[in-house]
């Protein structure tokens, strides 16, 4: 046989064997990465694929994940475009954090409220092997069962904690969320959040949540990877203080007597609707129509990072007077659940509140100190008979008039009076709400606003209120009697306008009410 004929066949066999040997090496290495290295090609500093390709095939690993840690969820989830895009997005974000010194491959990391576990896998893909997630529904091996408000790990367990997908702003109690993350974070550890926080009000509300333990060390705006949060603000905080009781800290303003409204709130006031400069000839119509012009705070900013949502109706009268007819139907609440405090001293309205859920009745008169008071039942001329008919037909009771301390009750004009308990409203407010709460107040107190508002400033309680709807009482033109002013009040419209103006100049968002 001619030897030149056999030579090409021999070379071909050698090449085939080398190729098969190479394929065998690739398969062995791939099996090692999947079964032993915990889904990371960085282990052993050896990888056949670039990071981008490695992430792209992450969706094919559900079978291996299931083999290692039990059912990992339906395979289609891990092969979906959203899953792969999410892993890529978080991997890029975490790589930037490593570059910035906020995260280390040696870190022990926790992802909270992560139902998919994409962020956990992304951490492992970039070399942070000791990473785990928690969610209400476990998804082994990436996600264990647990909630952010009760993280199932001891104090100081983690070097790095991450909360994506707007988890913090979706929490019903952000302060508890923050306290738990701080508890499980090691001293000098970092926590990162992906939130909306697209205005100064929401950003400062976020910062207020962390004042007790942490400082903001990084802010970065980026594009999201899906439609749920198209624009993301990445905020990183560092634990620099030992955790103290967050509830007592959030009420720290209750110990001081003065406060200053922050600048970012002052800017919001400048965006409010204009005050009515000229005295209305028909205030019962003008002020009511003006409600349509009101620029509500919750329509201008994101209120997600507040711990509780509270509506305080001072001078509530009947439930339908403003709570049921206006606040619960018209005020933009951003899907938040508000607790209502109804402050009403007139006992004729008390019974109907017994059946109202989410409402706490305070059957007292808001005042500047704790003492007994008297209030008058005083109706304008021409209104007495109308009020009596309303009482018979609607059962809404009487209209509460001016209040005075018991020792000064001689100042009334001899009309019907009734004794009631009064309480220090400013002191109650400071002991009931905190700086981390979103507080809306409506005040209709028959002229007592000229006593209560200065008291709120004097005690610093005014800084706890985000928005006020104030009815100012003055000797206005009467509906019943053309050409006559109300004899009930001594103040003028100019004095009311000065009150509104001084509130706004102090940075308080106040609206003219009717």
Side-chain half-sphere CA neighbours of 454 within 13 A: 7
User: Using 50, 70 and 90 to split pLDDT, how confident is the model at 440?
Assistant: very high
> What is the percent of the chain where pLDDT is above 90?
55
Indicate if 140 and 179 belong to the same structural domain: yes
Alpha helices in 415-462 (DSSP H): 425-432, 449-459
Q: What is the C-alpha separation between 30 and 18, in angstroms, rounded?
A: 18
Domain with residue 441: its CATH number is 3.40.50.720
| Domain ranges, residue 167 | 81-239
User: Does 388 map to a domain?
Assistant: no
Q: How confident is the model at residue 485 (pLDDT cuts 50, 70, 90)?
A: confident
Check whether residue 312 and residue 461 sit in a common domain: yes
Phi-psi region of 281 (alpha: psi -120 to 50; beta: other; left: phi over 0): alpha
Is the model's pLDDT at 418 over the cut of 90?
A: no
**Among 57-66, 222-231, 268-277, 390-399, which stretch is predicted with the lowest mean pLDDT?**
57-66
289, with CB counted inside 10 A (0-12, 13-18, 19+), is: exposed
Count CB neighbours of 43 within 10 A.
Answer: 15
User: Pairing state of beta strands 371-377 and 403-405?
Assistant: antiparallel
Phi, psi at 238, each rounded to 5°: -120, 135
Residue 387 lies in a domain: no
- Mean pLDDT in residue range 161-180: 92
CA of 329: how far to CAs of 272, 299, 320, 333, in Å?
Answer: 21, 15, 11, 10
Pair (407, 497) in one structural domain: yes
Q: Is 425 helix (H, G, I), strand (E, B) or coil?
A: helix
Decide: residue 17, CB within 10 A, 0-12 exposed, 13-18 middle, 19+ buried.
Answer: exposed
Residue 80: other Cβ atoms inside 10 A = 14
356, 494, 346: which is closest to 416 by C-alpha?
346
* Local confidence band at 102 (pLDDT 50, 70, 90 cut-offs): very high
On whether both 279 and 374 belong to a single domain, the answer is: yes
Q: Sorting pLDDT into bands at 50, 70 and 90, what band is 343?
A: very high
Contacts of 436 (CB under 8 A, 6+ apart): 174, 175, 205, 208, 209, 250, 306, 307, 308
What percentage of the chain reaches a pLDDT higher than 70?
A: 76
* Residue 60 DSSP class: G
Q: Are residues 113 and 181 in the same domain?
A: yes
Q: Is the model more confident about 167 or about 413?
A: 167
Mean confidence (pLDDT) of the chain:
81
Is the residue at 247 inside a domain? no
- pTM, two decimals, is 0.78
Closest to 164 (Cα-Cα) out of 196, 187, 139: 196
Name which residue leads in pLDDT, 416 or 33: 416
- What band does 129 get if pLDDT is binned at 50, 70 and 90? very high
Asked if the model's pLDDT at residue 132 lies above 60, the reply is yes
203 lies in some domain: yes
If asked whether residues 426 and 375 sit together in one domain, one would say: yes
Supply φ then ψ for residue 80, to 5 degrees. Answer: -75, 160
Residue 55 has pLDDT above 50, yes or no: no
* Residues 307 and 449 reside in one and the same domain: yes
Average pLDDT estimate for 123-129: 96
Q: Is 70 left (phi over 0), alpha (psi -120 to 50) or beta?
A: left
Quote the number of domains for the chain: 2
Mean pLDDT (whole number) for 286-312: 92
Q: Specify whether the CB–CB gap between 129 and 159 falls below 8 A.
A: no
Mean pLDDT for the stretch of residues 341-351: 93
CA dist list (Å): 372 to 368, 403, 420, 508: 11, 10, 6, 30
CATH of the domain at 95: 3.40.50.150
**Per-residue pLDDT at 31:** 52
Closest CA to 199 of 274, 295, 272, 305: 305
161 and 219: one domain? yes
* 109-124 per-position pLDDT tens digit: 999 999 889 999 999 9
Per-residue tokens: 450: 């000229």
Question: Residue 142 contacts by C-beta under 8 Å, 6 or more apart in sequence?
Answer: 65, 69, 72, 117, 120, 121, 132, 133
* Same domain flag for 207 and 119: yes
287 and 218 within one domain = no
Q: Specify if 38 maps to a domain.
A: no
SS3 call for 111 = strand
Report, as an integer, the average pLDDT of 323-340: 95
As a three-state string, the secondary structure of 367-379 is: ECCCEEEEEEECC
Give yes or no for a contact between 156 and 71, defined as CB atoms under 8 angstroms apart. no
């Amino acid at each position: 046989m001619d030897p030149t004929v056999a030579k090409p066949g021999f070379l071909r066999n050698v090449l085939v064997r080398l190729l098969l040997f190479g394929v065998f090496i690739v398969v062995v290495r791939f099996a090692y990465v999947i079964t032993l290295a915990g889904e990371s090609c960085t282990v052993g500093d050896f990888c056949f694929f670039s990071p981008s390709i490695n992430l792209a095939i992450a969706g094919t690993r559900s079978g291996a994940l299931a083999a290692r840690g039990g059912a990992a969820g339906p395979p289609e989830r891990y092969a979906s475009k959203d899953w792969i895009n999410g892993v890529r997005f978080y991997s890029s974000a975490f790589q930037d954090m490593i570059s910035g010194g906020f995260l280390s491959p040696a870190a022990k990391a926790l992802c909270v409220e992560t139902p998919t576990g994409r962020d956990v896998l992304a951490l492992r893909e970039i070399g942070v092997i000791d990473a785990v997630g928690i969610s209400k529904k476990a998804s082994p091996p990436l996600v264990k069962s647990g909630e952010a408000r009760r993280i199932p790990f001891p104090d100081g367990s983690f070097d790095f904690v991450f909360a994506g997908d707007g988890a913090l702003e979706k929490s019903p109690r952000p302060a508890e969320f923050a306290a738990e993350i701080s508890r499980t974070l090691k001293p000098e550890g970092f926590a990162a959040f992906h939130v909306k926080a697209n205005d100064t009000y929401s950003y400062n509300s976020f910062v207020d949540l962390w004042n007790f333990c942490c400082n903001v060390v990084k802010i970065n705006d980026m594009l999201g990877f899906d439609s749920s949060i198209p624009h993301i603000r990445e905020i990183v905080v560092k634990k620099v203080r030992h955790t103290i009781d967050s509830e007592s800290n959030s009420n720290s303003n209750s110990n001081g007597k003065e406060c200053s409204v922050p600048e970012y709130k002052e800017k919001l006031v400048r965006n409010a609707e204009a005050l009515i400069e000229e005295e209305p000839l028909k205030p019962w119509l003008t002020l009511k129509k003006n409600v349509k012009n009101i620029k509500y705070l919750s329509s201008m900013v994101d209120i997600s990072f507040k711990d509780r949502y509270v509506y305080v109706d001072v001078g509530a009268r009947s439930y339908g007077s403003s709570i049921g007819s206006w606040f619960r139907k018209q005020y933009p609440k951003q899907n938040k659940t508000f607790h209502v405090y109804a402050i009403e001293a007139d006992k004729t309205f008390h019974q109907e509140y017994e059946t109202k859920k989410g409402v706490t009745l305070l059957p007292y008169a808001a005042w500047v100190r704790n003492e007994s008071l008297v209030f008058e039942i005083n109706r304008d001329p021409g209104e007495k008979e109308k009020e009596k008919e309303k009482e018979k037909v609607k059962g809404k009771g009487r209209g509460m008039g001016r209040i005075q301390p018991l020792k000064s009750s001689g100042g009334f004009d001899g009309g019907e009076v009734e004794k009631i308990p009064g309480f220090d409203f400013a002191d109650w407010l400071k002991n009931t709400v905190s700086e981390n709460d979103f507080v809306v107040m409506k005040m209709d107190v028959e002229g007592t606003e000229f006593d209560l508002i200065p008291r709120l400033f004097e005690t610093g309680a005014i800084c706890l209120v985000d928005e006020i709807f104030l009815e100012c009482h003055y000797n206005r033109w009467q509906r019943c009697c053309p050409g006559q002013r109300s004899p009930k009040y001594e103040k003028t419209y100019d004095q009311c306008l000065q009150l509104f103006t001084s509130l706004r100049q102090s940075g308080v968002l106040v609206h003219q009410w009717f």
